[in-house]
Structure 1
Amino acid sequence: MAQKVLDAQPFSRLVRARITRFGEGAATLEIGIREELQQQNGFLHGGVLAYAADNSITFAAGTTLGPAVLTSGFSIQYVRPATGAKLVARAVVAHTGRRQAVVRCELSTVGDDGTETLCAVAQGAVLAT
């Protein structure tokens, strides 16, 4: 169901995002790193990292607030340039109220050898609509 919702978003199809975990206050989004998603220095573009943080945060919140949710805001701190074979955004709900959830997200790249490297952290608030 979550992947179907993600596939309904044209931008998510463009970046070829996949939901690999969804439920119990958490969501994981994965994107294969390819040349079209990189910036001029060969690193994954920061906008792709921000997209992954936003969507994984919103999906995680949806597990506690229900399916009708919208991000009300988030912040992201880039720790290091993102390189590797795959981006993984893991979001976990820190708190849920009646109409709002606060969610933390860690974004890591995975190399061809399976080594994960933290590249950004994010936190956001999501509202039930």
Structure 2
Amino acid sequence: MLQLGQQALASQPFSRLVGTALTRFDAEGTELRVPIQESLKQQHGFVHGGVVSYLADNALTFAGGAALGTGVVTSEYKINYVRPAIGQELVARAAAVHAGKSQAACRCDIYVVNEGKELLCAIAQGTIARLAAASTAE
């Protein structure tokens, strides 16, 4: 399952741009990592909220995909930033809290790794929806 997830991640141009790695993808949850680079920071020196939000969105979707199967998209999500992301790496861990036939409710914790210590920097929750088999870009 991890290899399938890594192939899906590799097909996302933005994920490749920021250097995202999928390090866990199974029925229990998912883990994504992004190395912090200068190009990802905002004017105050910490990671731009959009990058943290992207990571939460992708981790939630992978968690939903693990629960529902392939062919899923984010239906909605909410994020709370609790601390500036200052460090060397971002880590997002997400899992499905509940999955039905067509959607999954998922949650995600995003950490910043600073000098080997993980610090919570954001929390997110979202709904992941299964795409219909005959779905097109409508």
User: Partners of 1:105 and 1:34 in 2: how far apart?
Assistant: 22
Q: Deviations over 1:4-59 (max 9, x none)?
A: 11010100011110001000141111000010000011100000000000000000
Q: Which of these residues, 31, 36, 55, is aligned with residue 33 of structure 1?
A: 36
Q: State whether residues 100 and 127 of structure 1, in contact with CA within 8 Å, keep that contact through their aligned partners in structure 2.
A: yes
Aligned to 2:129: 127
Q: State whether residues 100 and 128 of structure 1, in contact with CA within 8 Å, keep that contact through their aligned partners in structure 2.
A: yes
User: Partners of 1:33 and 1:99 in 2: how far apart?
Assistant: 35
State the secondary structure of the residue aligned to 2:64: helix
Aligned to 1:43: 46
Q: Which of these residues, 111, 116, 119, is aligned with residue 118 of structure 2?
A: 116
Query: Is structure 2 residue 41 aligned with structure 1 residue 53?
Result: no
User: Partners of 1:23 and 1:82 in 2: how far apart?
Assistant: 27
% same residue: 50
Query: Is structure 2 residue 21 aligned with structure 1 residue 18?
Result: yes
One-letter identity of the residue aligned with 2:46? F
Q: TM-score, normalised on structure 2?
A: 0.91
Shift of residue 64, structure 1, vs aligned partner: 1.1
Aligned to 1:3: 6
User: Partners of 1:20 and 1:49 in 2: how far apart?
Assistant: 17
Shift of residue 66, structure 1, vs aligned partner: 0.5
One-letter identity of the residue aligned with 2:42? Q
User: Partners of 1:75 and 1:25 in 2: how far apart?
Assistant: 21
State the secondary structure of the residue aligned to 1:80: coil
Larger CA Rg, structure 1 vs 2: 2
Aligned residues: 128
Shift of residue 111, structure 1, vs aligned partner: 1.4
RMSD: 0.7
Q: TM-score, normalised on structure 1?
A: 0.97
One-letter identity of the residue aligned with 2:62? F
